[in-house]
Chain A
């Protein structure tokens, strides 16, 4: 039984102008990669992330910010639900497209932050 205090959540949204999937990272910046997302482990922290999301939505930087459950495997973060997992990868039927393809290119991960 998962205790209420044992939550693992990250905040996600779509970038307003580009439409791509983003996660709230350290220092309030957005990142394309779920493993760079801030993980809330308490309700209070999750609420803080959510209010940051509301603020960023109001500032018209992202659209539709919401919290998603994640699991940690070997210290790596993965979205718990398949829908969210696909959002972190791209279409499962086109492994050559989306984040799953971009993440194979070392330059992309070093590129400019998505804000």
Chain B
């Protein structure tokens, strides 16, 4: 993991004190709300429905056990005993008081964390594949680059007052677990014919009210030029992105209006003007960062663990969890363990202080003290010896964290919705809870197989409904919540945007509608065909038929 040096420490301390002074000026009336809002947003502080909300960055989703314990401390001391892991690998605290926030930031700074640029019209927290560095299908670990981009984008003098927020995601794997096509900029590590690695640069993806898939504007940018290339893209956007209408201010609209070719030409011209593009990343600095992401000292272990095989044989619950929540690791004898934060009937992404501490303890015992946060609002222990899996599982069972549903129908993504969020038009969590109860039965979940349901409580799409195999969007119709259903969305290597199937549903109808959709799939699928594959083969018609026939 990256470790702060004295420079980084000094930086976050100063930034915290700067914000402490801004809060003081706000409370004393020196700053009014219009002046203060952009300042607090750039420090992750929102004013939500019931209280302030502090969104803490978890850069590229990597956390140490020590940091997790500190999050638990904050949840207890300044919040109501829990936090919410978000679709952007951040964590949100829902109840802080404004004058407590500087102390919270100071406590975070001690463990090398901050809330910088988790909001506002700036380059947001950089996200990455949550299996980065350990995935079996990886070309190269993207995290050193994500860290470099984090540093480069932090309090960027030129790009902190952009037309709109700006999200960058990085992946180094074949399978895209970072949803790069749905980001303002998606970076994908690729190998060229000469065997060198560089970045495919995708621009202009996004969700929101105008969902778009990012387009590749450069198929291969050498790694040591990536910051210069980003600078060129950002400059074109900062100068020409629309500022007259906030709904048209994202870079996807600029790209759409200018056309891919014209936009690419402008970026390339700007890139050519940047002198010495490689000098933006001195070798010494890059080596310093890379060293932190070197693989840990793994033990030389056999790929198969005989004890594990025995335990799998003997314990059905463990076997089920292993089959669903454990993934292949690049290192023989090791596994990646996904921890579901989606218990049946639970609130997706919420974790109590006790659960955070339990995960921290298990990470220390079994995962070299390291934890990841996924954009699916789950946690990951990235370095578990196969022979430790059963002991880890017992620990998870004890902590109530052994739900075996990662990637299944009850592993639902949901934004906080109208229960917390001031932008929301409808609640999303109760829909997730109801669906999770409806599909709770293990056998049924296994029979349905991989299925991603994603729920957003408003058009801003924080619940990624556009990328859900089944997407649900909560809206307000004459003061009543109602829910629009989309089918066929997907992130990953072959991304697509879900299509609305027809008129929306009330809160009570929507769960039945989803069940009919799932049953329709079960009835028409061919052998081994996933929901998404079946949908792509047959289209929306059979689903519409069964869903609306009952109306």
Contact = CB atoms under 8 A, between A and B. Distances in A.
Interface of A: 14, 16-21, 57-60, 63-64, 80-83, 86-87, 90-94, 97-99
Given A14-B47, A92-B427, A19 B29 contact: no
A18 B479 contact: no
B50 interface: yes
Given A60-B26, A63-B33, A92-B427, A17 B99 contact: yes
Contacts of A91: 50, 419-420, 429
B98 interface: yes
A13 to B, nearest CB: 10
Contact of B50 (A20, A63, A81): A20
B47 A63 contact: yes
B479 A81 contact: yes
A86 B419 contact: yes
Interface residues of B, number: 31
A64 B33 CA distance: 9
B497 interface: no
Interface string B65-105: 00000000000000010000000000000011111000000
A20 to B, nearest CB: 6
B347 interface: yes
B98 A18 contact: yes
B50 A98 contact: yes
A82 B50 contact: no
B55 to A, nearest CB: 14
B407 interface: no
Given A16-B27, A82-B481, A98-B50, A57 B33 contact: yes
A25 B166 CA distance: 42
Contacts of B419: 86, 91-94
Nearest to A92: B419
Contacts of B96: 19
B395 interface: no
B49 interface: yes
Interface of B: 26-29, 32-33, 47-52, 80, 95-99, 347, 418-420, 424, 427, 429-430, 433, 476, 479-481
Contacts, number: 72
Contacts of A83: 49, 418, 424, 476
Contacts of B49: 21, 83, 86-87
B250 to A, nearest CB: 25
Contacts of B479: 80-82
A17 B28 CA distance: 11
Contacts of A94: 347, 419
Given A19-B51, A63-B33, A82 B418 contact: yes
Nearest to A14: B47
B133 to A, nearest CB: 35
22 contacts: A14-B47, A16-B98, A19-B96, A58-B32, A60-B28, A60-B32, A63-B47, A64-B33, A80-B479, A82-B479, A83-B424, A86-B418, A87-B49, A90-B50, A91-B420, A92-B419, A92-B427, A93-B347, A93-B429, A93-B433, A97-B95, A99-B50
A108 to B, nearest CB: 15
Contact of B98 (A19, A21, A58): A19
Most buried by B among A59, A60, A64: A60
List the 4 closest A-B pairs by CB distance, nearest first: A19-B52, A91-B419, A19-B51, A60-B29
A46 to B, nearest CB: 19
B207 to A, nearest CB: 22
A16 B99 CA distance: 10
Nearest to A59: B29
B33 A19 contact: no
Contacts of B27: 16-17, 60
A99 B420 CA distance: 13
Nearest to A88: B50
B98 A17 contact: yes
Nearest to A98: B50
Nearest to A60: B29
Contacts of A60: 26-29, 32
Nearest to B48: A19
B500 to A, nearest CB: 23
A83 B430 CA distance: 15
Most buried by A among B52, B476, B480, B481: B52
B228 to A, nearest CB: 41
B430 A92 contact: yes
Contacts of B29: 59-60
Nearest to B419: A91
Nearest to B427: A92
Nearest to B29: A60
